[in-house]
Amino acid sequence: MQVLGDVQATYRSFAVYAADNSPCFEEWALGVTEDRDVQRWLARLPEPKRQPNLVFAAARWHGLAAPAPYDDLRGALLGDTGRIRATILERATQTNEVGRLATLLPAVASVSGDGPVGLLEVGTSAGLCLYPDRWAYEWTTDDGTVTTGSATPTLRADVSGPAPLPDHVPEVVWRGGIDLNPLDAADPDTCRWLLTLVWPEHEDRRERLRQALDIARREPADLRRGDLLRELPGLVDEAMAALPDDGRLLVLHSAVIAYLDVPGRERFDALVRDLLTDPRLHWVSNERPRALPAVTASGPEPPPGRYVLAVDGQAVGHTHQHGRSLHWWG
């Protein structure tokens, strides 16, 4: 019964994140919380594979239309001949939402200075967030619209509070990342899966993803396969050695650390804080509140469904999970 309770809690929490963002996924998640048969089906999966977005994407991968009523999802899962389950076990939710760059860039700019920077992304997936200099930005504030960058296409976000909106994009001279399963933006099957992970109603995000994949194909980053807790220090040293003397390295991540177990999250927090003894290194994180409790505790309580944006372990703002808005106080 405890396992079913955990499944129910996971899907209830996801429904909060889906509210006002995807009526379909909110309905599906709430449906699971009331459906013991589907909860039992999910409980037979390994705990990390019960993630709502992964389960929903696997069902859609095998033909489930979306948006659609909850009963359609229920029928797909309970009638599964093994194909949906196999996809869940094989795949992961590595969306790498590029729209988050619109809320990450103010934090990046606050520590990058005017010189060259290197970007090292933890949990990099296909590395799509390693290209902030390949986009233009448009921020809507209480005082009007602020724009930065001359590239196309454009990322947009609503901003409140005294955010340090930059007047230029950083000069990125090194891009790299680490992931247990780095993805190849040039692989058609990979691209199709990433597009399936985008929430049903979000055609704007699908189009951004296509554009981001094109950028990554044209200019591949240095993506490494490995465990972040073991490999990060060595990769930091390698990246620092590749930078010019006036360069700074930013370790960044978004919606990644929650996939570690609790001891792993604590080890990661301590590891990065130890690395910050180098004044040329900075840390930009954008995570769910429970992912890095010490970081979350350094700022105001986040509203439901919001991520905590932090610089060098200090919370500076709350963000929409897909980069649609930023509230900055830091």
| Structural domain boundaries in the chain | 7-90, 98-328
Q: Cis bond leading into 300, ω under 30°?
A: no
Confidence (pLDDT) at 66: 97
- Which pLDDT value is given to residue 2? 65
**Is the per-residue pLDDT at 206 higher than 90?**
yes
**Can you say how many angstroms the Cα of residue 74 is from the centroid of all Cα atoms in its chain?**
27
Residue-wise pLDDT for 52-66, tens only, equals 999 999 999 999 999
- C-alpha angle 81-84-87 in degrees, rounded to nearest 5: 130
319 in Cβ contact with 325 (< 8 Å): yes
Tell if the pTM clears 0.85, that is, is over it.
yes
pLDDT of residue 199: 93
pLDDT category of residue 305 using cuts at 50, 70 and 90 = confident
Pick from 316, 324, 296, 320: which is nearest to 106 by CA?
316
How high is the pLDDT of residue 5?
66
Query: What torsion, rounded to 10 degrees, do the Cα atoms 284, 286, 291, 293 define?
Result: 60
Rg (CA), the chain: 20
Q: What is the mean pLDDT of residues 132-157?
A: 94
Average pLDDT over residues 284-298: 97
- Which two structure tokens, joined as six digits, stand for 197? 């992970």
Reported as a pLDDT band with limits 50, 70 and 90, residue 45 is very high
Question: How many angstroms separate the CA atoms of 310 and 307, rounded?
Answer: 10
Checking if the pLDDT of 1 tops 60, the result is no
The pLDDT of residue 150 is 82
Phi, psi of 140 (to 5 degrees): -100, 115
Q: How far apart are the first and last CA of the chain?
A: 43
Alpha helices (H) along the chain: 2-18, 23-33, 36-43, 52-61, 70-78, 83-90, 101-112, 188-197, 203-218, 228-242, 262-275, 293-296
Cβ 185 vs Cβ 128: under 8 Å = yes
Percent of the residues in the chain that have a pLDDT greater than 70, as a whole number? 98
Average pLDDT, the chain: 95
Q: Give residue 195's pLDDT.
A: 95
For residue 62, give both structure tokens.
Answer: 């095998």
Q: Is the pLDDT of residue 330 over 80?
A: no
Report residue 282: phi and psi, to 5°.
Answer: -135, 160
- What is the token pair recorded at 143? 């005082």
Confidence tier at 95 by pLDDT (50, 70, 90) = low
Distance between CA atoms of residues 275 and 283, nearest Å? 9
Q: Which CATH architecture group holds 98-328?
A: 3-Layer(aba) Sandwich (3.40)
